[in-house]
A = this chain, B = another copy of it.
Amino acid sequence: MTDLSSPLPIGPADIDAAARMLAPYAVRTPLLSSPALDERVGARVLLKPEILQRTGSFKFRGAFNKISSIPTSARAGGVVAFSSGNHAQGVAAAAKLLNMQATIVMPADAPLSKRERTKGYGAEVVLYDRDREDREAIARDIAVKRGATLVPPYDDPQVIAGQGTVGLEIADDMAKLGIAPDIVVAPASGGGLIAGIATAIKARFPQASLMSAEPEGFDDHARSLRAGKREPHRAEGRTICDALMASIPGELTFAINQRLLAGGLTASDEEVAAAVGFAFRELKLVVEPGGAVGLAALLAGHFEARGKTVVIVLSGGNVDADLYARLIA
Protein backbone atom coordinates (compact mmCIF):
# COMPACT_ATOMS: atom_id res chain seq x y z
CA MET A 1 0.00 0.00 0.00
CA THR A 2 1.17 3.46 -0.80
CA ASP A 3 1.20 5.70 2.23
CA LEU A 4 0.27 9.21 1.11
CA SER A 5 0.28 10.68 4.62
CA SER A 6 4.03 11.06 5.22
CA PRO A 7 5.76 14.05 3.63
CA LEU A 8 6.89 14.08 -0.01
CA PRO A 9 8.51 16.96 -1.90
CA ILE A 10 5.11 18.01 -3.25
CA GLY A 11 1.50 17.06 -2.60
CA PRO A 12 -1.80 17.35 -4.46
CA ALA A 13 -2.39 20.86 -3.10
CA ASP A 14 0.76 22.09 -4.84
CA ILE A 15 -0.59 20.74 -8.12
CA ASP A 16 -3.95 22.40 -7.53
CA ALA A 17 -2.11 25.69 -7.00
CA ALA A 18 -0.07 25.16 -10.17
CA ALA A 19 -3.26 24.46 -12.11
CA ARG A 20 -4.72 27.80 -11.00
CA MET A 21 -1.51 29.58 -12.02
CA LEU A 22 -1.43 27.85 -15.42
CA ALA A 23 -5.13 28.07 -16.29
CA PRO A 24 -4.97 31.32 -18.31
CA TYR A 25 -1.83 30.28 -20.22
CA ALA A 26 -1.49 26.52 -20.69
CA VAL A 27 -3.50 24.52 -23.19
CA ARG A 28 -6.02 22.26 -21.45
CA THR A 29 -5.15 19.16 -23.46
CA PRO A 30 -7.94 16.60 -24.01
CA LEU A 31 -7.94 12.85 -23.48
CA LEU A 32 -8.08 11.16 -26.88
CA SER A 33 -9.12 7.66 -27.81
CA SER A 34 -8.55 5.64 -30.96
CA PRO A 35 -10.61 2.60 -31.96
CA ALA A 36 -7.63 1.41 -34.04
CA LEU A 37 -5.33 1.50 -31.02
CA ASP A 38 -7.88 -0.12 -28.71
CA GLU A 39 -8.38 -2.96 -31.18
CA ARG A 40 -4.65 -3.38 -31.68
CA VAL A 41 -3.84 -3.85 -27.98
CA GLY A 42 -7.16 -5.15 -26.66
CA ALA A 43 -7.39 -2.40 -24.05
CA ARG A 44 -9.23 0.84 -23.48
CA VAL A 45 -6.48 3.35 -24.12
CA LEU A 46 -6.70 7.04 -23.35
CA LEU A 47 -4.00 9.25 -24.79
CA LYS A 48 -2.92 12.49 -23.09
CA PRO A 49 -1.44 14.47 -26.00
CA GLU A 50 0.94 16.98 -24.46
CA ILE A 51 2.16 17.44 -28.02
CA LEU A 52 -0.76 19.90 -28.17
CA GLN A 53 0.61 21.89 -25.25
CA ARG A 54 2.09 25.33 -25.79
CA THR A 55 5.64 24.82 -27.18
CA GLY A 56 4.79 21.25 -28.24
CA SER A 57 5.55 19.51 -24.94
CA PHE A 58 4.47 19.32 -21.28
CA LYS A 59 7.59 21.27 -20.26
CA PHE A 60 5.78 24.60 -20.53
CA ARG A 61 3.73 23.68 -17.47
CA GLY A 62 6.60 23.22 -15.03
CA ALA A 63 8.61 26.10 -16.46
CA PHE A 64 5.72 28.54 -16.24
CA ASN A 65 4.81 27.50 -12.72
CA LYS A 66 8.43 27.87 -11.59
CA ILE A 67 9.04 31.22 -13.27
CA SER A 68 5.75 32.58 -11.93
CA SER A 69 7.07 31.93 -8.43
CA ILE A 70 10.13 34.18 -8.90
CA PRO A 71 9.64 37.29 -6.73
CA THR A 72 9.24 40.59 -8.58
CA SER A 73 12.52 41.84 -7.13
CA ALA A 74 14.45 39.02 -8.84
CA ARG A 75 12.75 39.16 -12.23
CA ALA A 76 15.00 41.78 -13.82
CA GLY A 77 17.88 39.26 -13.93
CA GLY A 78 15.87 36.94 -16.13
CA VAL A 79 16.08 33.15 -16.10
CA VAL A 80 18.60 30.59 -17.26
CA ALA A 81 18.09 26.91 -18.00
CA PHE A 82 19.93 23.94 -19.49
CA SER A 83 17.99 21.61 -21.72
CA SER A 84 18.22 19.42 -24.80
CA GLY A 85 15.20 21.16 -26.23
CA ASN A 86 11.76 20.81 -24.73
CA HIS A 87 12.51 22.39 -21.36
CA ALA A 88 14.38 25.04 -23.35
CA GLN A 89 11.24 25.94 -25.27
CA GLY A 90 9.06 25.75 -22.18
CA VAL A 91 11.31 28.16 -20.27
CA ALA A 92 11.70 30.49 -23.26
CA ALA A 93 7.94 30.67 -23.89
CA ALA A 94 7.07 31.05 -20.21
CA ALA A 95 9.67 33.81 -19.74
CA LYS A 96 8.34 35.64 -22.78
CA LEU A 97 4.77 35.52 -21.45
CA LEU A 98 6.05 36.90 -18.14
CA ASN A 99 8.18 39.58 -19.86
CA MET A 100 11.48 38.14 -18.66
CA GLN A 101 14.75 37.48 -20.47
CA ALA A 102 15.72 33.81 -20.91
CA THR A 103 19.12 32.27 -21.62
CA ILE A 104 19.15 28.59 -22.56
CA VAL A 105 22.19 26.31 -22.48
CA MET A 106 21.63 23.59 -25.10
CA PRO A 107 23.78 20.73 -26.37
CA ALA A 108 25.22 21.45 -29.82
CA ASP A 109 23.67 18.20 -31.10
CA ALA A 110 20.12 19.06 -30.02
CA PRO A 111 17.60 18.79 -32.87
CA LEU A 112 17.75 21.87 -35.06
CA SER A 113 14.02 22.48 -34.75
CA LYS A 114 14.29 22.61 -30.96
CA ARG A 115 17.14 25.15 -31.15
CA GLU A 116 15.32 27.30 -33.70
CA ARG A 117 12.04 27.19 -31.83
CA THR A 118 13.79 28.17 -28.59
CA LYS A 119 15.27 31.22 -30.31
CA GLY A 120 11.83 31.87 -31.81
CA TYR A 121 10.46 32.46 -28.33
CA GLY A 122 13.02 35.21 -27.91
CA ALA A 123 15.57 33.32 -25.80
CA GLU A 124 19.35 33.56 -26.13
CA VAL A 125 20.77 30.09 -26.89
CA VAL A 126 24.25 29.10 -25.66
CA LEU A 127 25.51 25.84 -27.15
CA TYR A 128 27.82 23.36 -25.37
CA ASP A 129 29.52 20.05 -26.15
CA ARG A 130 27.47 17.28 -24.58
CA ASP A 131 30.50 14.98 -24.14
CA ARG A 132 33.07 17.50 -22.91
CA GLU A 133 31.34 20.32 -21.06
CA ASP A 134 29.18 20.52 -17.92
CA ARG A 135 25.89 22.20 -18.81
CA GLU A 136 24.96 22.76 -15.20
CA ALA A 137 28.22 24.58 -14.53
CA ILE A 138 27.72 26.78 -17.60
CA ALA A 139 24.17 27.59 -16.55
CA ARG A 140 25.20 28.37 -12.97
CA ASP A 141 27.95 30.64 -14.22
CA ILE A 142 25.43 32.59 -16.30
CA ALA A 143 23.08 32.73 -13.31
CA VAL A 144 25.78 34.26 -11.13
CA LYS A 145 27.03 36.75 -13.74
CA ARG A 146 23.58 38.01 -14.77
CA GLY A 147 21.65 37.60 -11.56
CA ALA A 148 19.42 35.18 -13.43
CA THR A 149 17.28 32.58 -11.69
CA LEU A 150 18.03 28.98 -12.66
CA VAL A 151 14.96 27.06 -13.82
CA PRO A 152 15.83 23.39 -13.17
CA PRO A 153 14.48 20.88 -15.71
CA TYR A 154 12.96 18.55 -13.12
CA ASP A 155 14.40 18.53 -9.61
CA ASP A 156 12.36 21.38 -8.20
CA PRO A 157 9.03 21.35 -6.33
CA GLN A 158 7.45 24.08 -8.50
CA VAL A 159 8.53 22.34 -11.68
CA ILE A 160 7.21 18.97 -10.51
CA ALA A 161 3.92 20.57 -9.42
CA GLY A 162 3.55 22.21 -12.84
CA GLN A 163 4.07 18.91 -14.65
CA GLY A 164 1.62 17.36 -12.19
CA THR A 165 -1.19 19.36 -13.77
CA VAL A 166 -1.02 16.80 -16.59
CA GLY A 167 -2.08 14.18 -14.04
CA LEU A 168 -4.71 16.44 -12.51
CA GLU A 169 -6.34 16.91 -15.92
CA ILE A 170 -6.22 13.17 -16.57
CA ALA A 171 -7.87 12.52 -13.19
CA ASP A 172 -10.53 15.19 -13.76
CA ASP A 173 -11.37 13.90 -17.24
CA MET A 174 -11.54 10.28 -16.13
CA ALA A 175 -13.78 11.18 -13.22
CA LYS A 176 -16.09 12.94 -15.70
CA LEU A 177 -16.07 9.83 -17.90
CA GLY A 178 -16.83 7.72 -14.85
CA ILE A 179 -13.85 5.45 -15.36
CA ALA A 180 -10.73 4.71 -13.35
CA PRO A 181 -7.26 4.18 -14.81
CA ASP A 182 -5.67 0.79 -14.21
CA ILE A 183 -2.30 1.82 -15.61
CA VAL A 184 -0.79 5.26 -16.34
CA VAL A 185 2.46 5.45 -18.32
CA ALA A 186 4.58 8.57 -18.92
CA PRO A 187 8.09 9.05 -20.31
CA ALA A 188 10.88 9.75 -17.82
CA SER A 189 14.19 11.54 -18.20
CA GLY A 190 14.79 13.32 -14.87
CA GLY A 191 11.43 12.03 -13.67
CA GLY A 192 9.55 15.28 -13.05
CA LEU A 193 6.62 14.51 -15.33
CA ILE A 194 5.86 11.05 -13.96
CA ALA A 195 6.44 12.26 -10.38
CA GLY A 196 3.92 15.07 -10.79
CA ILE A 197 1.44 12.84 -12.58
CA ALA A 198 1.78 10.11 -9.95
CA THR A 199 1.13 12.61 -7.16
CA ALA A 200 -2.08 13.81 -8.83
CA ILE A 201 -3.37 10.41 -9.96
CA LYS A 202 -2.63 8.49 -6.77
CA ALA A 203 -4.52 11.09 -4.71
CA ARG A 204 -7.67 10.39 -6.72
CA PHE A 205 -7.16 6.83 -7.93
CA PRO A 206 -5.00 5.06 -5.33
CA GLN A 207 -5.38 1.71 -7.10
CA ALA A 208 -3.81 2.93 -10.35
CA SER A 209 -0.41 1.55 -11.36
CA LEU A 210 1.94 4.33 -12.41
CA MET A 211 4.90 3.48 -14.62
CA SER A 212 7.81 5.40 -16.10
CA ALA A 213 8.89 4.68 -19.67
CA GLU A 214 12.47 5.05 -20.89
CA PRO A 215 14.57 4.18 -23.92
CA GLU A 216 16.33 0.82 -23.66
CA GLY A 217 19.74 1.33 -22.06
CA PHE A 218 18.78 4.77 -20.71
CA ASP A 219 16.83 3.00 -18.00
CA ASP A 220 17.96 4.78 -14.85
CA HIS A 221 14.41 4.94 -13.50
CA ALA A 222 13.74 1.25 -14.08
CA ARG A 223 17.07 0.37 -12.45
CA SER A 224 16.59 2.76 -9.55
CA LEU A 225 13.06 1.57 -8.87
CA ARG A 226 14.30 -2.02 -8.78
CA ALA A 227 17.29 -1.14 -6.59
CA GLY A 228 15.31 1.08 -4.24
CA LYS A 229 17.88 3.86 -4.68
CA ARG A 230 19.00 6.28 -7.39
CA GLU A 231 21.17 4.51 -9.94
CA PRO A 232 22.57 5.87 -13.21
CA HIS A 233 21.93 4.13 -16.49
CA ARG A 234 24.81 2.39 -18.25
CA ALA A 235 24.26 3.63 -21.80
CA GLU A 236 27.24 5.23 -23.52
CA GLY A 237 25.84 5.92 -26.97
CA ARG A 238 22.82 7.83 -28.15
CA THR A 239 19.12 7.09 -28.48
CA ILE A 240 16.63 8.57 -30.93
CA CYS A 241 14.82 9.72 -27.78
CA ASP A 242 16.91 12.90 -27.50
CA ALA A 243 14.61 14.21 -24.76
CA LEU A 244 15.21 11.25 -22.45
CA MET A 245 18.96 11.09 -21.92
CA ALA A 246 19.30 12.22 -18.26
CA SER A 247 21.81 9.94 -16.56
CA ILE A 248 20.15 9.48 -13.18
CA PRO A 249 16.75 10.24 -11.61
CA GLY A 250 16.44 13.52 -9.73
CA GLU A 251 16.62 13.46 -5.94
CA LEU A 252 13.22 15.04 -5.36
CA THR A 253 11.59 13.25 -8.27
CA PHE A 254 12.92 9.87 -7.14
CA ALA A 255 11.73 10.45 -3.59
CA ILE A 256 8.25 10.66 -5.10
CA ASN A 257 8.63 8.02 -7.77
CA GLN A 258 10.11 5.46 -5.39
CA ARG A 259 6.97 5.71 -3.28
CA LEU A 260 4.30 6.05 -5.96
CA LEU A 261 5.48 4.11 -9.02
CA ALA A 262 4.79 0.44 -9.67
CA GLY A 263 7.83 0.06 -11.92
CA GLY A 264 9.74 1.23 -14.94
CA LEU A 265 9.20 0.23 -18.58
CA THR A 266 11.65 0.43 -21.45
CA ALA A 267 11.39 0.32 -25.25
CA SER A 268 14.08 -0.06 -27.89
CA ASP A 269 14.75 2.60 -30.50
CA GLU A 270 13.18 0.29 -33.10
CA GLU A 271 10.03 -0.02 -30.97
CA VAL A 272 9.96 3.74 -30.49
CA ALA A 273 10.33 4.30 -34.25
CA ALA A 274 7.43 1.90 -34.83
CA ALA A 275 5.33 3.82 -32.31
CA VAL A 276 6.09 7.15 -34.01
CA GLY A 277 5.00 5.54 -37.29
CA PHE A 278 1.85 4.12 -35.72
CA ALA A 279 1.00 7.56 -34.35
CA PHE A 280 1.47 9.03 -37.85
CA ARG A 281 -0.56 6.39 -39.69
CA GLU A 282 -3.30 5.52 -37.21
CA LEU A 283 -3.52 8.33 -34.67
CA LYS A 284 -2.62 11.25 -37.00
CA LEU A 285 -0.53 12.70 -34.18
CA VAL A 286 3.02 13.97 -34.54
CA VAL A 287 4.94 12.50 -31.61
CA GLU A 288 8.68 12.86 -31.13
CA PRO A 289 10.63 9.71 -30.26
CA GLY A 290 10.99 10.55 -26.57
CA GLY A 291 7.30 11.39 -26.39
CA ALA A 292 6.34 8.03 -27.86
CA VAL A 293 8.28 5.70 -25.56
CA GLY A 294 5.25 4.87 -23.42
CA LEU A 295 3.18 4.16 -26.53
CA ALA A 296 6.07 2.03 -27.77
CA ALA A 297 6.07 -0.03 -24.58
CA LEU A 298 2.30 -0.55 -24.97
CA LEU A 299 2.47 -1.53 -28.66
CA ALA A 300 5.45 -3.83 -28.04
CA GLY A 301 3.55 -5.62 -25.30
CA HIS A 302 6.03 -4.80 -22.54
CA PHE A 303 3.26 -4.78 -19.95
CA GLU A 304 -0.06 -6.55 -19.58
CA ALA A 305 -2.66 -4.15 -20.95
CA ARG A 306 -5.34 -6.51 -22.26
CA GLY A 307 -8.76 -5.72 -20.83
CA LYS A 308 -7.44 -2.78 -18.86
CA THR A 309 -7.94 0.99 -18.92
CA VAL A 310 -4.57 2.43 -19.81
CA VAL A 311 -3.51 6.08 -19.98
CA ILE A 312 -0.50 6.85 -22.16
CA VAL A 313 1.08 10.29 -21.98
CA LEU A 314 2.47 11.52 -25.31
CA SER A 315 4.82 14.04 -23.77
CA GLY A 316 6.16 15.94 -26.79
CA GLY A 317 6.02 16.40 -30.54
CA ASN A 318 9.11 18.42 -31.41
CA VAL A 319 10.90 16.40 -34.04
CA ASP A 320 12.96 17.50 -37.05
CA ALA A 321 11.26 16.90 -40.38
CA ASP A 322 14.12 14.82 -41.80
CA LEU A 323 14.23 12.43 -38.83
CA TYR A 324 10.43 12.23 -38.86
CA ALA A 325 10.45 11.35 -42.55
CA ARG A 326 12.84 8.47 -41.83
CA LEU A 327 10.79 7.25 -38.88
CA ILE A 328 7.49 7.08 -40.80
CA ALA A 329 8.97 5.65 -44.03
Q: A residues within 8 Å of B by Cβ?
A: 27, 30, 32-36, 49, 51-52, 54, 56, 113, 277, 280-287, 317, 321-322, 324-325, 328-329
Known: A27-B34, A280-B286. 10 other contacts (CB 8 A): A27-B35, A30-B30, A52-B283, A52-B284, A56-B282, A56-B284, A284-B317, A322-B329, A324-B328, A325-B325
**Which B residues are in CB contact (< 8 Å) with A32?**
30, 52
**Which B residues are in CB contact (< 8 Å) with A287?**
284
A321–B317 touching, CB < 8 Å: no
Which single member of B30, B35, B52, B277 contacts A34 (CB below 8 Å)?
B52
Residue of B nearest to A279 (CB): B286
**Which B residues are in CB contact (< 8 Å) with A30?**
30, 32
Which single member of B27, B33, B113 contacts A33 (CB below 8 Å)?
B27
| Cα(A138)–Cα(B281), bound, Å | 30
Nearest CB on B from A38, distance (A): 11
A contacts with B: majority SS: helix
**Which B residues are in CB contact (< 8 Å) with A284?**
49, 51-52, 56, 285-287, 317
**Which B residues are in CB contact (< 8 Å) with A322?**
329
**Which B residues are in CB contact (< 8 Å) with A35?**
27, 54
B329–A325 touching, CB < 8 Å: yes
Nearest CB on B from A314, distance (A): 9
Per CB-CB distance, the 3 closest pairs between chain A and chain B, nearest first, are A325-B325, A284-B317, A51-B284
**Which B residues are in CB contact (< 8 Å) with A113?**
281
| Cα(A287)–Cα(B280), bound, Å | 10
| Cα(A52)–Cα(B49), bound, Å | 12
Which single member of B33, B54, B277, B321 contacts A280 (CB below 8 Å)?
B321
Nearest CB on B from A144, distance (A): 33
Nearest CB on B from A210, distance (A): 25
**Which B residues are in CB contact (< 8 Å) with A286?**
280, 284-286
| Cα(A94)–Cα(B30), bound, Å | 26
Nearest CB on B from A179, distance (A): 15
**Which B residues are in CB contact (< 8 Å) with A27?**
33-35
Which of A27, A321, A322 has most B Cβ within 10 Å? Answer: A321
